[in-house]
Amino acid sequence: MKEFIKSMKIAKCYDCGLEYGGTGWIEAIIPDKIWNKIKPDGCADGCGLLCITCISRRLKIAGFKKIPVWLCGTEPLKAMIGDPSDNFELLRD
């Protein structure tokens, strides 16, 4: 079992390498239609992993603005990163 655990890779942001679920990770979901236009190269539709900072960067490069984003458990987002920028429209359940 120990060998299996050692062989497991930690999921990371494709662009910057930030570890999924680690310090600084913000769980964010954008619509599939938009995700499929900015997803990491080589990933199937609906697949891939990017942190919120890299999602924002790719959206800006692609010319998107005011994209709806669902945040999971991140109420203090504004305090952590300031204004969420022109790229996101924050949605809450």
> What is the rounded CA–CA span in Å between residue 31 and residue 53?
16
Spell out a b/e string for 74-92, using b for 16 or more CB atoms within 10 Å of the CB, else e: beebeeeeeebeebbeeee
Indicate the pTM of the whole model: 0.71
Bridge partners for 12 per DSSP: 19
Q: Taking 60 as the threshold, does the pLDDT of residue 91 lie above it?
A: no
Over 3-24, what HEC string results? HHHHHCCCCECCCCCCECCCCC
Where is pLDDT greater, at 7 or 44? 44
Q: What is the pLDDT of residues 35-90, one digit of tens each?
A: 999 999 998 988 899 998 899 899 989 998 888 888 776 554 443 344 455 566 65
